[in-house]
């Protein structure tokens, strides 16, 4: 589940003195607000300085994906709704364990999911079951209590092998407890009910069933409610979920905020619909969802509000940040990064941003560092949060690292792997020791405490419910977007700072970077960097310009910045 490869132009005519005074005043005010915010998520060090609480491992699902695929159906007949292409992908090798009554029709037999195992006693089948990547395990219930543990183990083994598991039957609040790993079927972090109809078509009985789903979701904090309509088939592959059947599925989430002065009611729940895909131009959000993002939204409802009203000021108290807008690095930037990390004595760690479990070990970044003569260059990658939190061999390179570089890709991958883990803590300590942290594209956005543009399905939305908390927090009080003017992302950042005016929005063009020391960000590269203090107040700063992140204004570069 992991890889670790080791190789031994100012626009305002103000003086810099006046700007420094303004910056100092604003820093003092921001620090005062920072201290007041201690009661909602900050702790104090012994010397009295405020420190943000360490991000918690439990803020994220321990397991963010399943290796194989899970299929839910209220009856075998419902499986006839599956398209031929999906049926073909299931495979013909199957083990069918019929705990309940199974009446296979000729059409169902053609699906290739029934075999001679159907006539054997369930305990015999379970004792001899062998998982298969190309096969399927079909479980129907009610399941005899004495066989539940064996059935759970068979399902887990089949998924671990990358195979398919069918759960067939009426679902009445079935769930899996992510913490104890004790399955009660069928989806991780979810409460599942059958007979939940979408929209206004629901009968009084169906409305009552939907209300029961909401109540069950509220009764299980950190869980997502899923209601299947009649004859609906729900498929989870990895972490992506879709359904087949006219009735569709209902998604229920606890409210993001509990109403002041009263208990949460079922009508406060958030309800969304998942429908069958019927055309190529259909909005992808209507027929495909990411279960991990849904689970994160459910967990988020149990935590203190984020972002808070008064984030800590954007100051890098020690060390340096290199934040690049993607599309290549400004000339000489990597050399400056390595120099800041110690030159020939630098101990560097490269963290790729990939969804795959295995990544190439001959990274171009690693090769470049070797050619520059650094002391060590290590590639660090895992999709296993538990390993990132508990495996000293995995995170040992960070313990004496002087620099970290985050690669480009989809930034939610970083959150899923490292947020709140021991690895995350050690990353922050590199900066605290005076080291350097850099990254491009996704590796830029992840450096903020607020994580912008982190939707696992597409990346068009700059605000991603469930993932906004996922930044690694090297720079607080900001939201960072990249590929900025090249992809026309100005309106997105305007929307973000309108929603969260307590944050400074930073949009970075391609082949452009900011180098952040203390509260000053110096621009490098061919493009520009846009600093949004509000939707209507934007500072455009080009190569060589310096912006005070606390005073929120462009300033004259200092002698240190000019070096």
pLDDT, position 27: 41
CA distance 432 to 422: 15
pLDDT, position 94: 60
Domain span at residue 274 reads: 69-301
Find the length of the chain. 563
CA distance 183 to 67: 16
Distances (CA, A) of 335 to 340, 372, 434, 514, 563: 9, 8, 18, 15, 14
* Stretch 22-37: mean pLDDT: 38
Write out pLDDT tens, residues 68-104.
899 998 887 788 888 877 776 665 556 666 554 444 4
**H helices within 362-461, ranges in order?**
364-371, 385-390, 392-395, 412-418, 422-432, 442-445
379 CB contacts (<8 Å, ≥6 apart)?
Answer: 3, 4, 5, 6, 349, 350, 352, 359, 361, 363, 366
Asked whether 65 and 159 are in contact (CB, 8 A), the reply is no
Query: If DSSP codes are grouped into helix, strand and coil, which group holds residue 378?
Result: strand
Domain-embedded: residue 292: yes
Q: Are 294 and 323 part of one and the same domain? A: no
Write out pLDDT tens, residues 222-265.
999 999 988 899 999 999 999 999 899 999 999 987 666 678 88
- Given 273, 301, 329, the domain boundary residue is 301
CA distance 212 to 391: 42
Domain-embedded: residue 418: yes
Q: Are 359 and 250 part of one and the same domain? A: no
Closest among 40, 324, 51, 72 to 196, alpha carbons compared: 72
Q: Where residue 512 sits, what CATH number does that domain have?
A: 3.40.50.880
CA distance 209 to 226: 12
E strand or H helix that includes residue 244? strand 240-244
Q: Where residue 174 sits, what CATH number does that domain have?
A: 3.40.50
Domain-embedded: residue 9: no
Domain-embedded: residue 340: yes
Cis-peptide, bond into residue 186, ω within 30° of zero: yes
Cis-peptide, bond into residue 307, ω within 30° of zero: yes
367 CB contacts (<8 Å, ≥6 apart)?
Answer: none
Domain-embedded: residue 36: no
Q: Average the pLDDT over each of 84-93, 396-405, 438-447 and give the range with the smallest value.
A: 84-93
pLDDT, position 297: 97
CA distance 411 to 451: 8
Distances (CA, A) of 442 to 192, 358, 412, 417: 34, 19, 8, 14
CA distance 438 to 150: 48
pLDDT, position 198: 65
Q: Are 136 and 265 part of one and the same domain? A: yes
CA distance 45 to 354: 36
pLDDT, position 101: 45
Asked whether 244 and 84 are in contact (CB, 8 A), the reply is no
Q: Are 95 and 206 part of one and the same domain? A: yes
CA distance 379 to 407: 11
pLDDT, position 348: 98
Distances (CA, A) of 158 to 44, 119, 128, 562: 48, 21, 13, 60
512 CB contacts (<8 Å, ≥6 apart)?
Answer: 324, 325, 330, 523, 524, 525, 526, 527, 528, 529, 543
What mean pLDDT, rounded, does the chain reach? 83
CA distance 489 to 332: 27
The total number of structural domains that make up the chain: 2
Q: Are 224 and 79 part of one and the same domain? A: yes
Q: Are 248 and 282 part of one and the same domain? A: yes
Q: Average the pLDDT over each of 124-138, 409-423, 466-480 and give the range with the smallest value.
A: 124-138
- Residue 15 in this model has a pLDDT that exceeds 80: no
Closest among 455, 526, 450 to 485, alpha carbons compared: 526
Asked whether 319 and 341 are in contact (CB, 8 A), the reply is no
Residues paired with 172 in a beta bridge: 193
Confidence of residue 361 (pLDDT cuts 50, 70, 90): confident
Distances (CA, A) of 393 to 3, 132, 419: 11, 31, 18
Asked whether 407 and 350 are in contact (CB, 8 A), the reply is yes
Residues paired with 251 in a beta bridge: 226, 272
CA distance 535 to 361: 43
- Residue 392 in this model has a pLDDT that exceeds 80: yes
Confidence of residue 190 (pLDDT cuts 50, 70, 90): very high
pLDDT, position 175: 60
Q: Average the pLDDT over each of 18-27, 59-68, 369-378 and give the range with the smallest value.
A: 18-27
Domain-embedded: residue 330: yes
- Residue 385 in this model has a pLDDT that exceeds 50: yes
Q: Are 263 and 348 part of one and the same domain? A: no
**H helices within 220-318, ranges in order?**
284-287, 291-300
Query: If DSSP codes are grouped into helix, strand and coil, which group holds residue 398?
Result: helix
Q: Are 467 and 495 part of one and the same domain? A: yes
* Stretch 279-289: mean pLDDT: 94
* Stretch 144-158: mean pLDDT: 82
Write out pLDDT tens, residues 326-345.
999 999 999 999 999 999 99
Write out pLDDT tens, residues 504-527.
999 999 999 999 999 999 999 999
- Record the tokens describing residue 440, joined without a space: 């491009």
Q: Are 93 and 136 part of one and the same domain? A: yes
Pairing mode of beta strands 376-382, 2-6: antiparallel
- Given 234, 269, 301, the domain boundary residue is 301
Closest among 123, 126, 111 to 157, alpha carbons compared: 126
Phi, psi torsion values for 338, nearest 5 degrees: -65, -40
Q: 10 versus 420: which is more confidently predicted?
A: 420
Whole-angstrom distance between the N-terminal and C-terminal Cα of the chain? Answer: 43
Q: Are 287 and 363 part of one and the same domain? A: no
CA distance 281 to 293: 24
* Stretch 314-324: mean pLDDT: 97
- Given 248, 274, 301, the domain boundary residue is 301
Q: 416 versus 111: which is more confidently predicted?
A: 416
Q: Are 323 and 276 part of one and the same domain? A: no
**H helices within 456-525, ranges in order?**
490-499
* Stretch 332-361: mean pLDDT: 96
pTM of the model: 0.86
Domain-embedded: residue 142: yes
Q: Are 397 and 292 part of one and the same domain? A: no
Closest among 185, 175, 172 to 220, alpha carbons compared: 175
Domain-embedded: residue 197: yes
* Stretch 287-306: mean pLDDT: 95
């Amino acid at each position: 589940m992991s890889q670790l490869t080791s190789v031994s132009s100012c626009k305002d005519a103000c003086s810099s003195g006046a700007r420094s005074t303004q910056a100092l005043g604003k820093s003092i005010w921001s620090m005062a607000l920072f201290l007041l915010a201690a009661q909602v998520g900050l702790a104090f060090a012994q010397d009295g300085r405020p420190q943000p609480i360490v991000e918690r491992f439990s803020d994220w699902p321990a397991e963010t994906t399943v290796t194989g695929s899970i299929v839910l159906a209220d009856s075998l007949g419902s499986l006839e709704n599956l398209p031929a292409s999906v049926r073909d992908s299931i495979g013909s090798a199957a083990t069918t364990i019929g705990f309940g009554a199974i009446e296979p029709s000729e059409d169902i037999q053609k699906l290739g999911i029934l075999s001679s195992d159907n006539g054997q006693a369930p305990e015999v089948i379970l004792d001899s079951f062998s998982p298969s990547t190309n096969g399927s395990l079909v479980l129907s219930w009610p399941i005899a209590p004495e066989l539940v543990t064996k059935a759970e183990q068979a399902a887990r083994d089949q998924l671990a092998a990358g195979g398919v598991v069918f759960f067939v039957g009426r679902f009445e609040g079935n769930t899996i407890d992510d913490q104890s790993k004790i399955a009660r079927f069928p989806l991780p972090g979810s409460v599942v009910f059958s007979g939940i109809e979408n929209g206004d078509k629901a009968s009084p009985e169906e409305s009552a069933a939907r209300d029961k789903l909401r109540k069950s979701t509220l009764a299980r904090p950190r869980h997502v409610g899923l209601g299947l309509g009649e004859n609906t088939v729900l498929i989870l592959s990895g972490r992506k979920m879709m359904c087949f059947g006219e009735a569709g599925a209902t998604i229920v989430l606890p409210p993001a905020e509990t109403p002041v002065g009263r208990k949460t009611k079922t009508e406060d729940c958030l309800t969304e619909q998942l429908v069958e895909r019927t055309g190529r131009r259909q909005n992808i959000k209507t027929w495909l969802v990411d279960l991990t993002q849904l689970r994160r939204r459910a967990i988020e409802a149990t935590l203190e509000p984020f972002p808070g009203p008064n984030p800590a000021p954007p100051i890098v108290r020690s060390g340096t940040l290199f934040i690049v807008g993607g599309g290549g690095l400004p000339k000489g930037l990597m050399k400056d990064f390595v120099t800041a990390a110690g030159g020939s004595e630098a101990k560097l760690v490269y963290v790729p941003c990939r969804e795959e479990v295995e990544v190439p070990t001959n990274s171009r970044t690693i090769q470049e560092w070797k050619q520059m003569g650094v002391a060590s260059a290590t590639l660090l990658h895992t999709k296993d949060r538990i390993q990132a939190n508990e495996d000293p061999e995995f995170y040992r390179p960070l313990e004496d690292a002087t620099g970290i570089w985050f690669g480009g890709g989809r930034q939610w991958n970083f959150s899923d792997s490292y947020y709140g883990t021991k690895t995350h803590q050690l990353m922050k300590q590199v900066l605290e020791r005076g080291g350097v942290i850099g990254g491009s594209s996704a590796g830029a956005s992840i450096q903020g405490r607020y994580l912008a543009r982190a939707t696992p399905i597409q990346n068009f939305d700059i605000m991603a419910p469930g993932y906004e908390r996922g930044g690694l927090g090297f720079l607080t009080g900001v939201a960072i977007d990249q590929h900025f003017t090249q992809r026309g992302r100005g309106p997105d950042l305007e929307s973000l700072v309108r929603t969260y005016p307590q944050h400074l929005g930073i949009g970075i063009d391609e082949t452009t970077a900011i180098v952040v020391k203390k509260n000053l960000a110096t621009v490098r590269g061919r493009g520009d960097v846009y600093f949004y203090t509000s939707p209507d107040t934007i500072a455009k700063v080009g190569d060589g310009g310096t912006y005070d992140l606390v005073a929120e204004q462009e300033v004259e570069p200092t002698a240190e910045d000019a070096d």
